Amino acid sequence: MKIININNDFNNFKILNEKVGDILNKFPSTKTFFDKYNIDYCCNGRKVLKDTLKELNIDNQNIVNELIHDIQKACEFKSSNSDEVVKSTDFINKSSEEVIDFVINHFHEGLRKTMPEINALILKIMRAHIKHHKQLFWKIHELFCKIKDIFEGHLILEEENIFKAMIKFNNGELSKESEEYKTMIETITEAVDEHFIIGPTLKELASLTNNYSVPENSCETVKKVYSELHKLQDHILAHTQIENNILFPRYLTQN
């Protein structure tokens, strides 16, 4: 297998020198690629791709070509779903106030609206299919509820202890020595820890549902549940990686 020659290949050079989190931010569909090769885009999202590939001992041309192919496909892809908003927004160059506003209105309000709706749909299929799918649908419910339970408090913590303090700090109304600032930093750590619980739970849900492929002869409600859970997964991953890789580091690196 050809080893990447970074110096001789400008296209590779460009992509290899991008930070993993930035690639995912620009092209959320590359998440599948990063998951496939166990590339950590959360706590190691600030590392450049070439270093990450080297560490994993997968720095070869075929793998980079696979990523480039995914990015080309993402560029061609047009859709009207809500995640298109994420794909077309340049968060890196937005102010923290703008990012916070987007996170609350797009992600937090989105979760508050959809999670109870999805829960009601899951309860419906649990009752309707208790004879044939008890094990599968009960487990889906258990994993979904784990995510829902974490988010119920998580969203409040971020809005009350993190985002408000970030805005005050930016306006010069908060010093680094204040209790409110220290609480903000502590809560960011807590929020990132929770993201790390949510990520593997989403992976377990994807694996359990065979990447959201419905069982044979499924009814419309089961199809709806699977499709909503798949959308939820993409929504949550875009949400947490914007916080982990763009918003939170702006404050953590100031200490």
Binding site for Fe ion (CB under 5 A): 158, 191, 243
Distance of alpha carbon 58 from alpha carbon 23, whole angstroms? 18
Supply the minimum distance, in Å, between the C-beta of residue 232 and Fe ion.
14
The partner residues of 3 in beta bridges, in order of sequence, read 60
Which residue in 194, 198, 206 sits closest to 140, CA to CA? 206
Q: What is the DSSP string of 121-173?
A: HHHHHHHHTHHHHHHHHHHHHHHHHHHHHHHHHHHHHIIIIIIHHHHHHHTT-
**What tokens appear for 6 in the block?**
């970074």
Closest distance to Fe ion from the beta carbon of 116 (Å)? 18
Of 82, 12, 19, nearest to 228 (Cα)?
82
CB of 158 to Fe ion, least distance (A): 5
CB of 239 to Fe ion, least distance (A): 6
Residue burial 84-108, b: 16+ Cβ < 10 Å; e: rest: eebbebebeebebeebbebbeebbb
As measured in angstroms, the least distance from the Cβ of 245 to Fe ion is 12
Smaller CB distance to Fe ion: residue 158 or 228? 158
> Do residues 60 and 37 make contact, with C-beta atoms less than 8 angstroms apart?
no
**Which lies closer to Fe ion via its Cβ, residue 16 or residue 191?**
191
In this complex, which beta carbon is closest to Fe ion, that of residue 46 or of residue 129? Answer: 46
Q: How far is the CB of 87 from Fe ion (least distance, A)?
A: 18
User: Given the complex with Fe ion, which of 64 and 86 has the nearer CB atom?
Assistant: 86
Nearer CB in complex with Fe ion: 191/202: 191
Q: Which residue lies nearer to Fe ion by CB, 228 or 243?
A: 243
Q: How many CB atoms lie within 10 A of CB 36?
A: 11
